[in-house]
Amino acid sequence: MAKYVTKTFAAAAAASVMAMSAGMAQAETWRYAFEEAIDEVQGVFAQKFKEEIEANSDHTVQLFPYGTLGESADIMEQAQAGILQFVDQSPGFTGSLIPEAQVFFVPYLLPQDTEKLGEFFRTSKAINEMFPELYSEQGLELLVMFPEGEVCMTTQEPVSGPEDLNEVKFRVMTNPLLVESYKAFGATPTPLPWGEVYGALQTGIIQGQENPMFFIESTKMYEVTEVITCAGHNNFTTAVMANEEFFEGLPEEEQKMINDAIDVAFEHIIDYQKGLHEESIEKIKAAKPEMQVNVLSEEERQPFVEAADEVEATFLEMTGESGKKILDQLKADLEAVQ
């Protein structure tokens, strides 16, 4: 009996080695964690990716929305360790690992138009050729970056210029350049992981935070703040990566299948976001009619626009030659789509 079991096991092992060497990797479950809920933008992207992978292979993709495996920093560690095959982490949390990723927090760098942004992310040399090298140094295969919408501020009092942010403890993601950015905007920046934001606003530890409109609505930030201010200073960028060792160990056709699934999910998420900002404002207004939503005029934006130069200079100080190359290339890529 023991002999039979050993033989059967050996035959099965040999078959699996043969299958693998023939380029047919065994069906595995791949784990993919992200920083948002399943029905928020990162979740919608992940669901499309899962759907594509499962339609085109025998693999299963297990999704881990925000909170199931910890904060953003935790899921990144798990992806680097190979516990997760895929992770979505926004540059807002990647700043200390890859300082150049902070370039997305130079105010007024990115346009707000979803179509233009889509074209920029699709074609940018900085994003598609330069950033992958930097992520690779951290054991990560950068698969895609995509926009999640204009970032607006939520505060207790109206904001029409930097003087209104004076003494406002303003939550930012744990990103050194974002801290500098809100200092330049006149606020007192307070870096916090996402899980602490609602409670900190509720208890008055902080008085403001920023996020895209869909997220302000879905996470009910409007319940604990009174005013939303859109100054057009940024568009939320996120990034999806694979553990590099895992990715490089896959047969070429599976790597291609993953990249194809990413491309489909990218187009889906650009399309999904059309009108999302406006729909989210309507939902907020329906839930809390007294919530103020203010869009700053060109004149009101001017002091924030002027502060951007200081933030850009700090970015260059923090990242040196490598940051300068990324910034110059990003600007050239943006000019090409404007």
Asked if 36 touches ligand 6CS (CB under 6 A), the answer is: yes
Considering the complex, what minimum distance in angstroms separates the CB of residue 148 from ligand 6CS? 5
| 153 contacts 229 by C-beta, under 8 angstroms | yes
The binder of ligand 6CS chosen from 80, 85, 90, 243 (CB under 6 A)? 90
Q: Which residues lie closer than 8 Å to 322 by C-beta, 6 or more apart? A: 100, 134
Considering the complex, what minimum distance in angstroms separates the CB of residue 220 from ligand 6CS? 13
Considering the complex, what minimum distance in angstroms separates the CB of residue 191 from ligand 6CS? 10
How many chain residues touch ligand 6CS (CB under 6 A)?
11
The binder of ligand 6CS chosen from 104, 105, 135, 194 (CB under 6 A)? 194
Could you tell me where the DSSP H helices lie in 59-189? 72-80, 91-94, 114-123, 125, 131-136, 176-184
Asked if 72 touches ligand 6CS (CB under 6 A), the answer is: yes
Considering the complex, what minimum distance in angstroms separates the CB of residue 75 from ligand 6CS? 10
The binder of ligand 6CS chosen from 104, 105, 236, 304 (CB under 6 A)? 236
Q: Which is nearer to ligand 6CS, 93 or 120 (CB)?
A: 93
Q: Which residues lie closer than 8 Å to 277 by C-beta, 6 or more apart? A: 149, 150, 212, 213, 214
Q: Which residues lie closer than 8 Å to 26 by C-beta, 6 or more apart? A: 16, 19, 20
Asked if 45 touches ligand 6CS (CB under 6 A), the answer is: no
Q: Among candidates 91, 168, 75, 126, which has minimal Cα distance to 322?
A: 126
Could you tell me where the DSSP H helices lie in 67-212? 72-80, 91-94, 114-123, 125, 131-136, 176-184, 197-202
Tokens for 190?
A: 């307070």
| 210 contacts 154 by C-beta, under 8 angstroms | yes
The binder of ligand 6CS chosen from 30, 35, 144, 169 (CB under 6 A)? 35
What does the per-residue mask of binding to ligand 6CS show for 146-185, with x meaning CB under 6 A?
Answer: --x------------------------x------------
Asked if 217 touches ligand 6CS (CB under 6 A), the answer is: no
Under the rule (CB under 6 A), what is the footprint of ligand 6CS? Answer: 35-36, 72, 90, 148, 173, 194, 211-212, 215, 236
